[in-house]
Protein backbone atom coordinates (compact mmCIF):
# COMPACT_ATOMS: atom_id res chain seq x y z
CA UNK A 1 0.00 0.00 0.00
CA UNK A 2 2.75 2.41 1.02
CA UNK A 3 4.83 1.60 -2.07
CA UNK A 4 1.83 2.06 -4.35
CA UNK A 5 1.20 5.54 -2.88
CA UNK A 6 4.83 6.49 -3.34
CA UNK A 7 4.89 5.16 -6.89
CA UNK A 8 1.66 6.99 -7.65
CA UNK A 9 3.08 10.24 -6.29
CA UNK A 10 6.34 9.83 -8.24
CA UNK A 11 4.34 9.16 -11.41
CA UNK A 12 2.34 12.36 -11.12
CA UNK A 13 5.38 14.30 -9.94
CA UNK A 14 7.28 13.20 -13.05
CA UNK A 15 4.38 14.30 -15.26
CA UNK A 16 4.16 17.67 -13.53
CA UNK A 17 7.91 18.31 -13.85
CA UNK A 18 7.77 17.28 -17.52
CA UNK A 19 5.06 19.89 -18.14
CA UNK A 20 7.01 22.57 -16.24
CA UNK A 21 10.18 21.81 -18.19
CA UNK A 22 8.37 22.85 -21.38
CA UNK A 23 7.69 26.34 -20.01
CA UNK A 24 10.42 28.64 -21.27
CA UNK A 25 11.29 30.64 -18.17
CA UNK A 26 11.18 27.50 -15.96
CA UNK A 27 13.26 25.27 -18.20
CA UNK A 28 16.59 26.19 -16.59
CA UNK A 29 15.28 25.18 -13.14
CA UNK A 30 14.13 21.74 -14.30
CA UNK A 31 17.46 20.24 -15.44
CA UNK A 32 18.59 19.21 -11.97
CA UNK A 33 16.23 16.78 -10.11
CA UNK A 34 16.57 18.61 -6.77
CA UNK A 35 16.03 22.00 -8.34
CA UNK A 36 13.05 20.61 -10.26
CA UNK A 37 11.44 19.27 -7.08
CA UNK A 38 11.99 22.59 -5.25
CA UNK A 39 10.46 24.49 -8.17
CA UNK A 40 7.46 22.15 -8.23
CA UNK A 41 7.02 22.52 -4.46
CA UNK A 42 7.16 26.33 -4.62
CA UNK A 43 4.66 26.45 -7.48
CA UNK A 44 2.30 24.09 -5.61
CA UNK A 45 2.53 26.11 -2.38
CA UNK A 46 2.14 29.39 -4.26
CA UNK A 47 -0.94 28.09 -6.07
CA UNK A 48 -2.54 26.96 -2.81
CA UNK A 49 -1.75 30.34 -1.20
CA UNK A 50 -3.29 32.17 -4.17
CA UNK A 51 -6.45 30.06 -4.01
CA UNK A 52 -6.70 30.66 -0.25
CA UNK A 53 -6.30 34.44 -0.65
CA UNK A 54 -8.83 34.48 -3.47
CA UNK A 55 -11.33 32.61 -1.30
CA UNK A 56 -10.79 35.02 1.60
CA UNK A 57 -11.16 38.04 -0.70
CA UNK A 58 -14.45 36.74 -2.12
CA UNK A 59 -15.76 35.83 1.33
CA UNK A 60 -14.86 39.24 2.81
CA UNK A 61 -16.33 41.15 -0.15
CA UNK A 62 -19.67 39.45 0.53
CA UNK A 63 -19.46 40.57 4.17
CA UNK A 64 -18.89 44.18 3.11
CA UNK A 65 -21.68 44.07 0.52
CA UNK A 66 -24.04 42.83 3.22
CA UNK A 67 -23.15 45.88 5.34
CA UNK A 68 -23.87 48.27 2.47
CA UNK A 69 -27.18 46.50 1.77
CA UNK A 70 -28.12 47.04 5.41
CA UNK A 71 -27.15 50.71 5.32
CA UNK A 72 -29.03 51.28 2.04
CA UNK A 73 -32.21 50.03 3.71
CA UNK A 74 -31.77 52.08 6.89
CA UNK A 75 -33.50 55.36 7.68
CA UNK A 76 -31.49 58.58 7.55
CA UNK A 77 -32.06 59.68 11.10
CA UNK A 78 -30.22 60.05 14.37
CA UNK A 79 -30.53 56.33 15.11
CA UNK A 80 -27.43 55.89 12.92
CA UNK A 81 -25.43 57.48 15.74
CA UNK A 82 -25.95 54.28 17.69
CA UNK A 83 -25.05 51.92 14.84
CA UNK A 84 -23.41 48.78 16.20
CA UNK A 85 -20.23 49.38 14.21
CA UNK A 86 -19.75 52.70 15.98
CA UNK A 87 -20.49 51.47 19.49
CA UNK A 88 -19.36 47.84 19.53
CA UNK A 89 -15.66 47.60 20.45
CA UNK A 90 -15.49 44.20 18.74
CA UNK A 91 -15.36 46.07 15.41
CA UNK A 92 -12.28 48.07 16.42
CA UNK A 93 -8.73 47.55 17.60
CA UNK A 94 -7.89 48.52 21.14
CA UNK A 95 -4.82 49.11 23.26
CA UNK A 96 -4.29 47.15 26.48
CA UNK A 97 -1.65 48.08 29.04
CA UNK A 98 0.27 45.13 30.44
CA UNK A 99 0.71 46.26 34.06
CA UNK A 100 3.61 43.89 34.73
CA UNK A 101 5.78 44.94 31.80
CA UNK A 102 4.36 48.40 31.19
CA UNK A 103 4.06 47.56 27.49
CA UNK A 104 0.99 48.65 25.54
CA UNK A 105 -0.39 45.75 23.53
CA UNK A 106 -2.65 46.46 20.55
CA UNK A 107 -5.45 43.98 20.06
CA UNK A 108 -6.96 43.97 16.58
CA UNK A 109 -10.53 43.16 15.60
CA UNK A 110 -11.32 39.82 13.98
CA UNK A 111 -10.86 39.62 10.23
CA UNK A 112 -14.60 39.26 9.67
CA UNK A 113 -15.30 42.37 11.75
CA UNK A 114 -12.66 44.38 9.87
CA UNK A 115 -14.03 43.57 6.42
CA UNK A 116 -17.65 44.05 7.48
CA UNK A 117 -17.09 47.77 8.15
CA UNK A 118 -17.96 50.39 5.51
CA UNK A 119 -15.00 52.14 3.87
CA UNK A 120 -14.46 55.83 4.57
CA UNK A 121 -15.27 58.31 1.79
CA UNK A 122 -12.06 59.73 0.27
CA UNK A 123 -13.49 61.97 -2.47
CA UNK A 124 -16.75 62.91 -4.17
CA UNK A 125 -18.12 64.70 -7.22
CA UNK A 126 -20.93 67.12 -6.42
CA UNK A 127 -23.33 68.68 -8.93
CA UNK A 128 -24.77 71.84 -7.39
CA UNK A 129 -27.82 73.84 -8.40
CA UNK A 130 -28.94 77.23 -7.06
CA UNK A 131 -32.67 77.59 -6.46
CA UNK A 132 -35.02 80.34 -5.34
CA UNK A 133 -36.31 79.91 -1.79
CA UNK A 134 -39.88 80.87 -2.74
CA UNK A 135 -40.60 78.58 -5.72
CA UNK A 136 -37.67 76.13 -6.07
CA UNK A 137 -36.90 77.31 -9.61
CA UNK A 138 -33.31 77.01 -10.78
CA UNK A 139 -31.21 80.15 -11.18
CA UNK A 140 -28.48 78.44 -13.20
CA UNK A 141 -28.41 77.32 -16.83
CA UNK A 142 -26.24 74.36 -15.82
CA UNK A 143 -25.13 73.01 -12.43
CA UNK A 144 -21.86 73.88 -10.75
CA UNK A 145 -19.55 70.90 -10.40
CA UNK A 146 -17.12 70.44 -7.52
CA UNK A 147 -14.61 67.69 -6.81
CA UNK A 148 -14.40 67.34 -3.03
CA UNK A 149 -11.45 65.56 -1.39
CA UNK A 150 -11.12 64.76 2.30
CA UNK A 151 -7.77 64.77 4.09
CA UNK A 152 -6.93 62.75 7.24
CA UNK A 153 -6.67 66.00 9.21
CA UNK A 154 -10.41 66.45 8.76
CA UNK A 155 -11.34 63.27 10.60
CA UNK A 156 -8.34 62.36 12.75
CA UNK A 157 -10.12 63.53 15.92
CA UNK A 158 -13.24 61.45 15.33
CA UNK A 159 -13.98 58.72 17.85
CA UNK A 160 -13.82 56.27 14.93
CA UNK A 161 -11.48 57.97 12.44
CA UNK A 162 -11.41 54.93 10.14
CA UNK A 163 -14.93 55.90 9.02
CA UNK A 164 -13.78 59.27 7.69
CA UNK A 165 -15.50 62.65 7.63
CA UNK A 166 -18.87 63.70 8.98
CA UNK A 167 -21.60 65.16 6.80
CA UNK A 168 -20.96 68.55 8.45
CA UNK A 169 -17.49 68.66 6.86
CA UNK A 170 -18.93 68.18 3.38
CA UNK A 171 -21.69 70.73 4.01
CA UNK A 172 -19.18 73.38 5.15
CA UNK A 173 -16.90 72.71 2.19
CA UNK A 174 -19.73 73.17 -0.29
CA UNK A 175 -20.92 76.30 1.53
CA UNK A 176 -17.51 77.97 1.34
CA UNK A 177 -16.82 76.82 -2.23
CA UNK A 178 -20.08 78.40 -3.40
CA UNK A 179 -19.64 81.63 -1.42
CA UNK A 180 -16.25 82.16 -3.05
CA UNK A 181 -17.69 82.09 -6.58
CA UNK A 182 -18.65 85.12 -8.66
CA UNK A 183 -22.03 83.47 -9.21
CA UNK A 184 -22.86 83.82 -5.51
CA UNK A 185 -21.85 87.50 -5.47
CA UNK A 186 -23.94 88.22 -8.56
CA UNK A 187 -27.02 86.45 -7.19
CA UNK A 188 -27.05 88.06 -3.74
CA UNK A 189 -25.93 91.59 -4.55
CA UNK A 190 -29.54 92.85 -4.59
CA UNK A 191 -30.68 90.82 -1.57
CA UNK A 192 -29.95 93.53 0.98
CA UNK A 193 -28.23 93.41 4.36
CA UNK A 194 -30.95 91.26 5.93
CA UNK A 195 -30.20 88.28 3.66
CA UNK A 196 -28.54 85.39 5.47
CA UNK A 197 -26.95 82.43 3.73
CA UNK A 198 -26.18 79.75 6.33
CA UNK A 199 -24.63 76.29 6.27
CA UNK A 200 -27.54 74.53 7.98
CA UNK A 201 -30.48 76.27 6.30
CA UNK A 202 -29.32 77.02 2.76
CA UNK A 203 -27.23 73.99 1.77
CA UNK A 204 -29.20 70.83 0.98
CA UNK A 205 -27.19 67.70 0.17
CA UNK A 206 -28.54 64.52 -1.42
CA UNK A 207 -26.88 61.09 -1.25
CA UNK A 208 -26.37 58.89 -4.31
CA UNK A 209 -29.91 57.55 -3.95
CA UNK A 210 -31.35 61.07 -4.19
CA UNK A 211 -32.36 61.21 -0.51
CA UNK A 212 -31.96 64.62 1.22
CA UNK A 213 -29.55 64.62 4.16
CA UNK A 214 -30.95 66.89 6.91
CA UNK A 215 -28.80 68.90 9.29
CA UNK A 216 -29.91 66.52 12.07
CA UNK A 217 -27.48 63.88 10.70
CA UNK A 218 -24.54 66.26 10.24
CA UNK A 219 -22.60 64.51 13.01
CA UNK A 220 -22.80 61.14 11.23
CA UNK A 221 -19.91 60.02 9.04
CA UNK A 222 -20.52 59.93 5.30
CA UNK A 223 -20.01 56.21 4.78
CA UNK A 224 -23.13 55.55 6.92
CA UNK A 225 -25.27 57.89 4.79
CA UNK A 226 -25.37 55.84 1.55
CA UNK A 227 -22.37 57.63 0.06
CA UNK A 228 -19.23 55.92 -1.25
CA UNK A 229 -15.89 57.13 -2.58
CA UNK A 230 -16.12 58.44 -6.13
CA UNK A 231 -19.90 58.89 -6.07
CA UNK A 232 -21.52 61.77 -7.91
CA UNK A 233 -24.10 63.35 -5.61
CA UNK A 234 -26.26 66.47 -5.81
CA UNK A 235 -26.54 69.64 -3.77
CA UNK A 236 -28.90 72.61 -3.80
CA UNK A 237 -28.05 76.12 -2.59
CA UNK A 238 -31.20 77.99 -1.60
CA UNK A 239 -31.14 81.79 -1.90
User: Could you list the mean pLDDT of each consecutive 10-residue stretch along the chain, which spans 239 residues?
Assistant: 66 73 70 76 84 82 86 91 88 76 78 89 96 87 94 93 96 95 87 82 95 95 96 95
Q: Are residues 129 and 211 in the same domain?
A: yes
The SS3 of residue 65 is helix
How many CB atoms lie under 10 A from the CB of residue 104? 9
Q: At 125, give phi and psi (nearest 5°).
A: -110, 130
Question: Are both 178 and 234 inside the same structural domain?
Answer: yes
Q: For the chain, how many structural domains are there in total?
A: 3
* Interatomic CA distance for residues 195 and 188, integer angstroms: 8
Q: Are residues 131 and 177 in the same domain?
A: yes
- For residues 124 and 228, membership in a common domain is answered with yes
Residues 231 and 137 in one domain: yes
pLDDT of residue 153: 94
Distance CA 104, CA 99 (A): 9
Q: What is the CATH number of the domain that holds 126?
A: 3.10.20.90
Same domain for 131 and 166, yes or no, is yes
Q: Provide the pLDDT for residue 9.
A: 65
Q: Which of 202, 206, 204, 207 is nearest to 191 (CA)?
A: 202
Domain containing residue 90: 83-115
Do residue 41 and residue 131 come from a single domain? no
User: What global pTM score does this model have?
Assistant: 0.76
Concatenate the DSSP letters of all residues of 123-143 into one string.
EEEEEEEEE-TTT--B--SS-
Contact by Cβ (8 Å): 231, 93: no
Q: Is residue 78 part of a domain?
A: no
Per-residue confidence (pLDDT) for residue 218, from 0 to 100: 96
The pLDDT value given to residue 229: 96
Given a contact cutoff of 8 angstroms between Cβ atoms, the answer to whether 163 and 177 are in contact is no
Query: 95 with 172, same domain?
Result: no
Half-sphere exposure of 182 (CA within 13 A, CB side): 0
What pLDDT, on a 0 to 100 scale, did the predictor assign at position 110?
A: 83
Query: Same domain for 108 and 134?
Result: no
Whether residues 151 and 102 fall in one domain: no
Looking at residue 183, what is its pLDDT?
Answer: 92
Amino acid sequence: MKNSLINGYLHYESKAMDILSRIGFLEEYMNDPISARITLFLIAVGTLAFINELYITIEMSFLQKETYRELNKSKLDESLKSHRMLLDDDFHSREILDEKSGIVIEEFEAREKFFAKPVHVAHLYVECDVIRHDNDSSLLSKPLKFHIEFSPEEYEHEKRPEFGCKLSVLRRKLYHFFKETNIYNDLVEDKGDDFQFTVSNNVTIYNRRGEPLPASVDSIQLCFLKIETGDTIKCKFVI
